[in-house]
Every structure is written in structure tokens, then in C-alpha cells.
Structure 1
């Protein structure tokens, strides 16, 4: 029994099977890399077939886990059900971990000039697809669950903007408005917590990671001074920060953790600067 307290047992995810949406780039790729490095069979899904193939090949070479790409555009219930069916068709009778990570980074527009289509796109991918893909994968997740010892996991990539209100300074600095993005993240935090109510008794834990600024594209570096000024730890997030949170939420160590937000932001929310005043 005491061996259960060893790090190699408590935090091991070796041998598990995971699906990560938006897994070809950015935070999704960071999560996929962490899983592969720890012996997980990983499926990454996104719209860009070329990037999927490149990422899958790169991560598989790292091992000891493996990575496969599945092209998917998760903007409808039908597309979500098709992806879940594809996972099963590829020989997987169960799914241990679902990471709902697909999303839009943001859109440069002012408060009074935000395109309606971008609102729709953000809510479709950040909110609706999370619900429908989770439900579509539920039979596979239930089959994988060791309910009382090591439940299956649904991890949803939210944001500190899904907790705080207003704008970060660097967003204000470039004159754009994050309101549609932020409100969609608030919505998916709510979806996650409500899914946890329904799915936890069925042996599926549902949790949220809420990252602060973790650079996933070059444009972040143009605003680095403004970004750093809001982070008490004096740096942005990196793949180790994301990996630590997600491995914890995927492992035996977090079996009794569900319906909660893990904030990974270097203390940004402590500043209470998420306002435009």
C-alpha cells in the first residue's frame, strides 16, 4: 500500500490513451509532448493535416509514447461524433484522457467593431465543441475508468480570462478587445463544472486548466515588456508549467479532484489588473 505514495506510481500516466484537440501547435502540442515523453499513446486532432503529420512524427521520435494525427474540424456536433468514432475505429476500446484544447487565440478588433462571425466561431470551438466531443467520447471514457481508484479524465483548457473580467494590459496596448474570447472562456469554465456534476458519478473527472500568458505565436514577443509587467513571477508560462498541471490532472495523484480550476499564471490574477480602468 505504501508504494502508492511513490512518485513513479502516484504521477505515472504510462500506458494510457489520450485525445488532444488542437494538439498540433501551441498549448495542445505542449500537452501532447508531455504525454508522449511519459509513455502515453496520443491522438492529436486539428484542421491542419500537414501540421498534424509533422507534429506526430516529431513527438513519436521522442518516445517512449507514440503520437498520431487525426484531421478534424470540430465546429459541429456531427464533427465531434465523427472524431470519437474515428478513435474507436483505430482500435481503441477505451479512452483514458480527453483534452479539450482546440481554440482561437484571439482576434484584433475594437469593442464596437467586432465581427459577428468571430463571436460564432469562438463559441462554436470554445464551448459547443467541448460539450459535444465530451459526450461523444463518454462511452470510451467510461470503459477506461477505474472509478474509485483512477477515474478517466476530461481536461479543458480554459483561461485566466475565464475567471477575471476586463482586459490584460498588453491587449489594451494594441487597441483590441478580448471580450468575445473572455466571455467564451467564462462559458466553457461553466460547461466544465456542470459536466463534472453529471460525469463524476460515472467515473469521469472533469477539470479545467486556466493558463496565463503562455506564448504560442511570435506576436506575443512584440509585447513582452507589457506582458511581464502583469506577472508577479516575472516571466511567461512554458511547456513545463503546462505539463506539470496536466500530468497531475491525468494521474492517480488527482483521482479525488474534479470540477475545479487549476490556475497556471505566475500570479497574474493576484494583481487584480484584469480590468480596463
Structure 2
């Protein structure tokens, strides 16, 4: 993560805006009305897993699978937003786990230590919970076993993983809220990977596709309830991806069995699914005021 450069750039932008405003105030009486300086961009910190980093686009800049084609990069390309820290990492969990990816607690600790996540942070985006709920294991079972086994495995996961996820998210959200009390925190859910209405059983049985989507809904429900309990904005992605799951004629989900980024949004999915969903939930221009 290149935190120093991004943080310095944001501070420079804000100082320039303040200088312009001061100059306008000094000259206003002698030179007449002066146009107001544009508002400083929102200081944005991105946290999360592979669905936050941009996995699925194929254009990665580091081992965490970060891509400029993912949501953080798309937001950063808008004039209202300045990405001061992208801590997202493929494989990350909401709870800490020894070894493996940079989990959310470690991400939060890093950006807090650098000063990127602070009381001056304006916007935080978070995607977390899918790995804790065992999305990868569920996909493996549903893709290789009969639907009955798929449904049974999901039932067990829901009974064991989701209660733990509730507690984990509460801890995570409390930590983020304490570190950045003035920030608007946007929590994204997960899209449906399949479009079973297309009736394409080649991927896996249609009934298994429905079961997997139902499992996604169960995880999303937990994330929504905990996010809203902390005053955060939950962004539902299911509707935006409707008709664009695997099996449809225009999928926004990758399907490359064996690839490390299989079953993730494509660049089009982030561009036409994630970004519009966030934009419709959060008025970026209004946050600048």
C-alpha cells in the first residue's frame, strides 16, 4: 500500500483549497466577488476482501489482488474522491486468522497506524464476511456434489458460521467507527453469482445455483443488520447484478475453473454493478459540503 504518497497528495490538495479560500477572502473587498474554491475531495480508505480489491478483473498491481478496475480504483477516478489508503486483500476475513491474507483487523491496524484512518477520514468502504462464512468451501461442495449435499452443507455453515460472523462484524465495525468517527462508512454486500432463471445446468444443477444464492442472501442479511446497527450504509448488490450472474447471456461474474480469481465480478461487474450501487446509496457531492 502506498499510503504516504496518497496521504501527502490529499493533504496538499486540502492545503491548496484552504490557501485559495484565504486569498479570496483577502482580495474580496478590492477585486470584487471571487469564485469559491472547489471543495476538497473526500479522503477515502478502502478495506476488505477480494470483492473489494477488484479480484476478477485480471489487472492486479500486487499480491493482494488489488486492481484499479475494482471499486476503490473506480471511486478514486472521480473528482469527489481521493483514495488515501487501499488496504483490501484477496482472501481477507473479518476475523483475524494466523497466516494467509491480510485480514480486516490487520488492515484497520495498518491504516490507523499510518494516520490514513483517522477522525479526518471522510469515506470508508468495507467488504467482509464472505470468507468467514466459507463461500469458497460452499462453492466447492455445490460444484462437485449432488444438490442435497450442497443444501446440507449450507445449512451447517449457516448454523455455525453466521452467529460467529455477527460477533466478528460487531467488533470490526466498532473499531472502524472509533478510528474514524466522522466518516461515512459504506458496507457492500455480495452479488448473486448465478442466474438460475436462465435454466443453464451446465455450471451446476439449477437447484444448487438457487441454494448458493440463498446462502449469499443469508450472509448479506447478517452484514446488513450489523452494519445498520452501527449507523453504516449497507449497499445491496443483488439487484444491480440481476440478470448478470453465471448462466445468463451477459454474465458479470468470472467463470474460469482453476483460476485463483474464479467466481468474482468482472471489470464490467465493478463498473456497472458496484459503482452505480454505491453511487445510488451515497451522494458523494453532498458529502463534500
Which one of the candidate residues 49, 53, 63 is aligned to 1:21? 49
Which one of the candidate residues 117, 141, 159 is aligned to 2:177? 141
Partner of 2:150: helix, strand, or coil?
coil
Which one of the candidate residues 86, 90, 95 is aligned to 1:46? 90
Q: State whether residues 100 and 155 of structure 1, in contact with CA within 8 Å, keep that contact through their aligned partners in structure 2.
A: yes
How many residues in Structure 1 have an aligned counterpart in Structure 2?
A: 197
Q: Pairwise mapping of residues 29-68 of structure 1 onto structure 2 (< 5 A)?
A: 29=67, 30-38=70-78, 39-41=82-84, 42-47=86-91
Q: Tell me the TM-score normalized by structure 2.
A: 0.50
d(CA) in 1 for partners of 2:149, 2:222: 28
Q: Tell me the TM-score normalized by structure 1.
A: 0.52
Distance 1:18 1:168, change over 3 A: same
Relative to its length, the structure with more strand (as a share) is 1
d(CA) in 1 for partners of 2:160, 2:285: 32
d(CA) in 2 for partners of 1:43, 1:174: 33
Please state how far the C-alpha of 1:111 moved relative to its aligned partner. Answer: 0.6
Q: Which residue number corresponds to residue 196 of structure 2?
A: 167
Q: State whether residues 166 and 226 of structure 2, in contact with CA within 8 Å, keep that contact through their aligned partners in structure 1.
A: no
For structure 2, list consecutive stretches of 5 or more residues without a partner in the other structure: 1-37, 58-65, 246-250, 258-266
User: Which of 1 and 2 has greater Rg?
Assistant: 2
Q: State whether residues 98 and 155 of structure 1, in contact with CA within 8 Å, keep that contact through their aligned partners in structure 2.
A: yes
d(CA) in 2 for partners of 1:198, 1:157: 19
Partner of 2:175: helix, strand, or coil?
helix
Please state how far the C-alpha of 1:239 moved relative to its aligned partner. Answer: 3.3
Is 1:151 the counterpart of 2:184 in the alignment?
A: yes
Q: Which deviations, in whole Å up to 9, do the C-alpha atoms of 1:32-80 show, x marking residues without a partner?
A: 3212323323221123xxxxxxxxxxxxxxxxxxxxxxxx455667854
More deviation in 87-96 or 239-248? Answer: 87-96
Q: Which residue number corresponds to residue 125 of structure 2?
A: 98
RMSD value over aligned CA atoms? 4.3
Q: State whether residues 98 and 134 of structure 1, in contact with CA within 8 Å, keep that contact through their aligned partners in structure 2.
A: no
Please state how far the C-alpha of 1:25 moved relative to its aligned partner. Answer: 0.6
Distance 1:93 1:14, change over 3 A: closer
